[in-house]
């Protein structure tokens, strides 16, 4: 199992906090940064290695993670012109095993990760059952726990909840994800979320599953208010 962390973006919506600092390196607690929290989660899960896709001020991230073993950085030279799918596509060139996908700015408690680690399916995507607004990546789930639809554009009232931004991918689906990503990019558009290829997988009737994390804590750090809340929610380091 490999951990794949998306950490290429600048985090411009955080204003002065990320003028020169990649969002992933924002201080979270006494144990370190947002990135350190997620590396600690993956290490506790005993993944074989961790691939971090970098972009904005990559050298700062590369320098920061030198203290870790089995942690590698993969630079996305197109970070400023592509969306998350572009970073994942670059990472996939180095992956030949089942992998856990996550954003460096998404913090999820360990119990969710532990369940995800042992879940079966081509793709498994945890979600939080809730009322959704415009900003959330929204999901529709069927009675069997399979993902039916995922996007930001659907009406909040049509959604069953919000996708967390973490997922598990089977190694058997990597060729499909790579091919589907390439076909999307060949439309001369690089502005795709990772979820675009998940929707293609759903449409092709691959085994895409979801599970409700119920009362578990998670937060995506997009704005300063999110950052301040994250420091309260996750002030206790991963043990």
- Write the DSSP assignment of 202-221 as a string of letters: HHTT--EEEEE-TT--EEE-
Percent of the chain with pLDDT over 70: 100
**pTM for this prediction:** 0.95
Task: Report pLDDT digits (tens) over 179-224.
Answer: 999 999 999 999 999 999 999 999 999 999 999 999 999 999 999 9
Sorted by sequence, the CB contacts under 8 Å of residue 13 that are 6+ apart come out as: 222, 223
What is the dihedral sign for C-alpha 139, 140, 146, 147?
negative
- As a whole number of angstroms, the distance between CA 97 and CA 119 comes to 15
Sorted by where each begins, the domain ranges of the chain are 2-233
How many CA within 13 A on the CB side of residue 47? 29
Beta-bridged to residue 220, according to DSSP, are 106
**Phi-psi domain of 168 (left: phi exceeds 0; alpha: psi -120 through 50; beta: other):** beta
Q: What pLDDT, on the 0 to 100 scale, is given for residue 113?
A: 97
Q: What is the CATH number of domain 2-233?
A: 3.90.550.10
Mean pLDDT of 72-99: 96
- As a whole number of angstroms, the distance between CA 78 and CA 81 comes to 6
Length of the chain in terms of residues written: 239
Indicate if the pLDDT at residue 15 is higher than 80: no
> Which of 17-26, 92-101, 169-178, 181-190 shows the lowest per-residue confidence on average (mean pLDDT)?
17-26
Cα torsion for 124, 197, 96, 10, to the nearest 10°? -90
Query: How many H-runs (helices) and E-runs (strands) does the chain carry?
Result: 7, 14
- As a whole number of angstroms, the distance between CA 52 and CA 74 comes to 6
Mean pLDDT of the chain: 95
Q: What pLDDT, on the 0 to 100 scale, is given for residue 239?
A: 65
């Amino acid at each position: 199992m490999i951990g794949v962390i998306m950490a290429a973006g600048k985090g411009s919506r955080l204003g002065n906090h990320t003028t020169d600092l990649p969002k992933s390196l924002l201080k979270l607690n006494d144990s370190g940064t947002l990135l350190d929290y997620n590396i600690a989660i993956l290490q506790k899960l005993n993944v074989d290695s961790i691939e971090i896709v970098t972009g904005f001020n990559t050298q700062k991230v590369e320098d920061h993670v030198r203290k870790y073993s089995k942690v590698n950085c993969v630079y996305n030279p197109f970070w400023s012109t592509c969306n998350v799918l572009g970073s994942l596509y670059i990472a996939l060139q180095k992956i030949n095993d089942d992998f856990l996908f996550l954003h460096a700015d998404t913090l999820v408690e360990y119990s969710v990760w532990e369940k995800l680690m042992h879940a079966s399916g081509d793709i498994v995507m945890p979600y939080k059952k809730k009322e959704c607004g415009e900003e959330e990546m929204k999901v529709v789930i069927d009675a069997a726990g399979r993902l039916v639809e995922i996007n930001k554009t659907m009406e909040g009232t049509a959604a069953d909840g919000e996708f967390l931004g973490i997922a598990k991918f089977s190694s058997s689906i990597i060729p499909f994800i790579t091919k589907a990503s390439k076909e999307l990019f060949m439309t001369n558009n690089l502005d795709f979320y990772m979820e675009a290829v998940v929707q293609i997988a759903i449409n092709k009737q691959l085994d895409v599953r979801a599970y409700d994390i119920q009362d578990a804590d998670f937060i995506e750090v997009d704005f300063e208010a999110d950052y301040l809340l994250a420091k309260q929610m996750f002030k206790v380091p991963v043990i």
